[in-house]
Amino acid sequence: MNRVWRTALTALVLAFLVPVLVLASAAAGLAPRHWSGIPLSGWDLAVIEFKPEQGTLTEPPGQPDPVVDGIIAMDDPGVFMVVPLHDGSVYVASRSLRPSLFLGLGSRFDADQVSVVWSPLMGNINPDAGDRGPARTFWQRTEPLATWVTLMVGFPWQLGAGLLLAAGWHVFAARRRAARVARAVAVS
């Protein structure tokens, strides 16, 4: 039973640790990349904000930007804002981080063109329009389970770091138990 408990505890720690590693990497400005190649360049909560600086449009206002038009054409229900950056790329602000968002962006755009900013607490932009259809609840807009799954298994470097930390902890704990048993045997 002890082994089952340790396995369940390890899974719970990984389920918490890996998303925290992804969000900490984004907050530090490292822009962790999803399996699709699209980076998570920041996150934005009501009080805490880690996101890239907005830029100005590089083209005159009447000319369509193919990247912005392509993102709008995706018609993703979680995407609520597309913002140009100083370096000419675009970030997509989304309430939810579903795998389909990253895969859709990765299949259409280069990682140098588009990045994602997670902003789960952003409300409806236009309350009269119901945010692209009928009014949706907070849970429907943010899709917390899909976001958690994406943060948990969608970013390979952070997932690998979490697995290495968990394996290192198990090795440390096993050596500590062995040393305790050796001391107990030596005393008796």
Please name every residue paired with 85 in a beta bridge, in sequence order, or none if there are none.
54
Range with top average pLDDT, 7-11, 31-35, 79-83: 31-35
Dihedral of alpha carbons 181, 184, 186, 188, sign = negative
Question: Tell me: the pLDDT tens digits for 136-184?
Answer: 788 888 899 999 999 999 999 999 999 999 999 888 988 999 999 999 8
Report how far residue 91's alpha carbon sits from residue 33's, in angstroms, rounded to the nearest whole number: 14
What does the block give as tokens for 181? 């048993």
Question: Tell me: the pLDDT tens digits for 106-133?
Answer: 999 888 889 999 999 886 654 444 455 5
CB count in 10 Å sphere of residue 125? 10
Question: Tell me: the pLDDT tens digits for 18-74?
Answer: 999 999 999 998 999 999 999 999 998 877 878 776 655 555 444 447 888 888 888
**pLDDT(105) > 60:** yes
Tally the C-alpha atoms within 13 A of residue 98's C-alpha that lie toward its C-beta: 14
